[in-house]
Amino acid sequence: MTAKKLLQIISTILVALVVLLAVALVGVRLAGIRTFTVLSGSMEPTYHVGSLIYVKKVDPTTIQPGQVITFMLDENTVATHRVVEVVPDEDDPSTLRFRTKGDANDAEDGSLVHYKNVIGTPVFAIPKLGYAANYIQHPPGLYVAISAGAVLLLLTFLPDLLSGGSDKGQGKRIRQDSQKA
């Protein structure tokens, strides 16, 4: 096997992996799914630390006890816990709140989750992928990802550069032949 052929195989595999990673991290947003990295063990063994969970928006009125929800704790913090009780507001029964608890936690969460803070429900998770997602979202991981993309582009076009343009001459002859016909 020639070095050129080996380089083509490696670059094809790398491109496929990058495309799969891009779809897993970003492409799912086109389907209305958001991704979050599990950073704590509060939902073990359902969702392990480092998992990437995929969350789809849900109508809060359909949420039932036992269902897992992802919600905003505050402006900067997202949590995923199981609903243990749906609590209608005493003054306005159309305003729902949810009592939640992490599967690995002994006690229920201290405050109720307002329905407007519900992001959605997890539809599936990929173990360990959250570590990669979290890494490439912040420096230095961001710089590593950009550098890896540049190297991948170089690997993709390097076989053509190494061929010395020998394919170009063949293309010209074909075009000349087809113009004569």
Catalytic residues: 40
- Cα–Cα distance measured from residue 96 to residue 114, given in angstroms and rounded to the nearest whole number: 6
In 3D space, the residue among 116, 28, 31 whose CA is nearest the CA of residue 69 turns out to be: 116
Contact 28, 54 (CB under 8 A): yes
Assign 89 to helix, strand or coil. coil
Judged by DSSP in three states, 32 sits in coil
Query: What are the start-end ranges of the E strands in 20-132?
Result: 33-37, 52-56, 68-74, 77-88, 96-101, 113-114, 118-126
Chain centroid offset of residue 117 CA: 21
